[in-house]
Amino acid sequence: MGYIHKVCNEDFLFNHLAFQKAELIDGNTWAQNKNNLCAELLRSEDPGLFLFYDCIATRNVGEAWAHGVGTYSPTSRGLVMPSDFPSIEHEIAHFLEMGNIERLKFCDMGMDSDPGKWYERGPSILFIGFSRELRTRQIQKILEGEIEGGPNCKLAKSMNDLTTNQSWHPDQQFSDFGKFKSAKEVEDYMIDLCNKVRQNWTQEKIRFEFKRRCAFMREHVGSLQSERPVAA
């Protein structure tokens, strides 16, 4: 399956944030007063690679997407993401979950940011996004310290053990898709997928993948910096 090669419109992004008086916070600064695995990762990274802003006051999804700006925006100044709605831990979880590292070079990692289009493209596309979000949210729980991760991680036994986004309404969206014939089958799938992620994503794996991806993106950010015109 392909993905969207959407390059960030940096001028629009930074002008928009400046107009909204949104302060960019370095990932290291955010992590200083936090005590979880996500903060540990950000403290280990060179300052300036991750930049976060207050999303609720500044975000206009439709306008931003039209100008090549996403929730995750790789720029010559760093990787720009919201600090809330979703949380930093959630965004870093997406950064780790993405299997194709090349997609980290594009806005929203090549994913379509318009929720309406997910439904327009039918159950199979929605199912792909649904599964990715499930995996991401389990990695997020490890980053937040809610679960340990690894072979000895406590496994979920019911939907009550999972952190899910109820806006997906899985029982309605997938009741007629493929092998899923009932809400119970969807729940069984969700629990099984999430338990596999919990067991496979050890904290050591998370540290390794974070370091590898940061090194890859530092090179990309450096190439963007060299392409930016120098003011006279």
Write the DSSP assignment of 38-53 as a string of letters: HHHHHHHSPTTSEEEE
State yes or no: cis peptide before 86, omega within 30 of 0. Answer: yes
pLDDT for residue 219: 92
Q: Is 194 exposed, middle or buried (0-12, 13-18, 19+ CB in 10 A)?
A: buried
pLDDT for residue 68: 57
Q: Is 87 exposed, middle or buried (0-12, 13-18, 19+ CB in 10 A)?
A: middle
Alpha-carbon gap, residue 166 to 162, rounded angstroms: 11
The per-residue pLDDT string of the chain (232 residues; one tens digit each, 9 = 90 and over) reads 566 677 888 888 888 777 777 788 899 999 998 999 999 999 998 888 999 887 655 555 556 555 556 678 899 999 998 887 678 999 999 999 999 999 999 988 987 666 556 556 666 677 778 888 889 999 999 999 999 999 999 888 887 777 655 445 555 555 555 667 777 888 888 899 999 999 999 999 999 999 999 999 999 998 887 776 554 4
- Side chain identity at 193, as an amino acid letter? L
Alpha-carbon gap, residue 205 to 151, rounded angstroms: 12
Residue 48 structure tokens: 């300036």
Alpha-carbon gap, residue 92 to 95, rounded angstroms: 5
**Residue 133 phi, psi dihedral angles, 5° rounding:** -65, -35
pTM of the predicted model as reported, rounded to 2 decimal places:
0.87
CA 49 to chain centre: 15
DSSP string covering 13-28, please?
HHHHHHHTTPPPEEHH
pLDDT for residue 232: 42
pLDDT for residue 79: 94
- Listed in sequence order, the residues at least 6 apart from 24 whose beta carbon sits closer than 8 Å to its beta carbon are 17, 51, 52, 53, 80
Residue 35 structure tokens: 């005590």
Alpha-carbon gap, residue 1 to 3, rounded angstroms: 7
DSSP 231: P
- Listed in sequence order, the residues at least 6 apart from 147 whose beta carbon sits closer than 8 Å to its beta carbon are 138, 141, 153, 154, 198
